Amino acid sequence: MRLDGVRVLDLSRLLPGPYATQLLADAGADVVKIEDTDAGDYARILPPYTDAGVGAIFDAVNRGKRSVAIDLKTDRGREAFLDLAAEADVVFEQFRPGVVERLGVDYEAVRAVNDDVIYCSLSGFGQDGPHADRVGHDLNYVGMAGLLDMTREDEDSKPQMAGYPVGDMAGGLFAAFSVVGALLSRELGNTGGEYVDVAMTDVVASFSQAVAHDALTGENPRPGETELSGSLPWYDTYETADGNYVTLAALEPKFWETFCAAVGREDLTDAHMTGDPAEREAVREELESLFAERTREEWEQELGETEAMVAPVRTPAEALDSEAADARDLIDHSGTVPRVAFPAQSTAEPDGAAGSPPGHGEHTDDVLEAAGYDADRIATLREDGVIE
């Protein structure tokens, strides 16, 4: 799982693209952020801030990267970018469709100087189709994909997203997977360079596999009415005595039997997977009363180490500051602020992307020098405002 020696030019900003390239950096890739010569990545100034005055999201998804500030709207800036792209393995962009073509740094332009490049475009709705030119953020992608429609609703029937930001993070994750797959395909000799088009809406739609069959065969699955969204009382969430919640996921008969025995309710065992709505509702009422008798932590102490399929619902703060997170080395403390680390462990661990995120244009000179630019040329570009 080591991407040492892989060079990625990252044109993306904010969250989805930088998250994708952060995963690549965590796996050892050399990720070079290509930022404009003004403010750079918007996330640098997006609250909340770290003690260093940097946007916390920027800090979280730009560790170990290098920053080069180039004005791509100038001919010499475009030339400098293509000089860097000629030696890159991956070019990653997250602009709206058509922008890279107008800038002259699109796939065809890069392929002209580097036929083996993996070029990935990550966007909300893809490079083609009826919504390609739409603006969007996470809620748009999740809503368009139908996942927002399948989350729980509050008392006013307002859809509530089950996890934020699903679309951004899922899109970034799948884009990183696609890039690694394309690199592997190239190394195996199956392909050369290739263009990858990832739409965040498409990725979120892929998350709907559990309800896709019904949706594609004439049904209209609704929250609380499908097996995995709450229609089954043995696969749902329940409020506890202290106002917190636990999950019960005893989908398989053996886990339901274990649960019923553990809580002394063997009388409910035979109701598992009943198709009788009235019987299901009666079981749900029994479970609601049962779980309301104890606090979340009391249920965890009693059932957590059994195979009853009961687990506490944690807040993000509780989940990230936990014994489990510590045991898995999930939190990276190497930088100025803690962040969630690469979410996998391997016998071939990469060095990872430790330390702080780069300053705006911090590595412009170093990267251009490595590409063959001498000091006088770099100084001239800076004096003319082409680089920062």
Using only C-alpha atoms, the chain has a radius of gyration, in whole angstroms, of 25
| CA-wise closest residue to 341 among 22, 8, 44 | 22
Residue 343 backbone dihedrals phi, psi, to 5 degrees: -85, 40
Give 159-183 as a DSSP string: B--SSTTHHHHHHHHHHHHHHHHHH
| CA-wise closest residue to 68 among 356, 368, 370 | 368
Q: Are strands 235-239 and 118-123 parallel, antiparallel or unpaired?
A: unpaired
Bridge partners of 35, per DSSP, are 69
| CA-wise closest residue to 245 among 162, 298, 314, 302 | 314
Question: Which distant-in-sequence residues (6+ apart) come within 8 Å of 336 by Cβ?
Answer: 50, 51, 52, 54, 59, 356
Residue 340 backbone dihedrals phi, psi, to 5 degrees: -75, 130
**Spatial contact of 66 and 367, defined as CB atoms under 8 Å apart:** yes
**Spatial contact of 39 and 120, defined as CB atoms under 8 Å apart:** no
3-class secondary-structure state, position 236: strand
Query: What is the C-alpha end-to-end distance of the chain, expressed in Å?
Result: 34
Question: Which distant-in-sequence residues (6+ apart) come within 8 Å of 387 by Cβ?
Answer: 37, 68, 69, 70, 71, 77, 80, 361, 364, 368, 378, 381
**Spatial contact of 387 and 80, defined as CB atoms under 8 Å apart:** yes
CA 54 and chain centroid, separation: 21
Q: Centre a 10 Å sphere on the Cβ of residue 214 and count the other Cβ atoms it contains.
A: 15
Please pick, among 41, 59, 106, 168, the residue that the annotation labels catalytic: 168
Q: Active-site residue 168, yes or no?
A: yes
Q: Which of the residues are catalytic?
A: 168
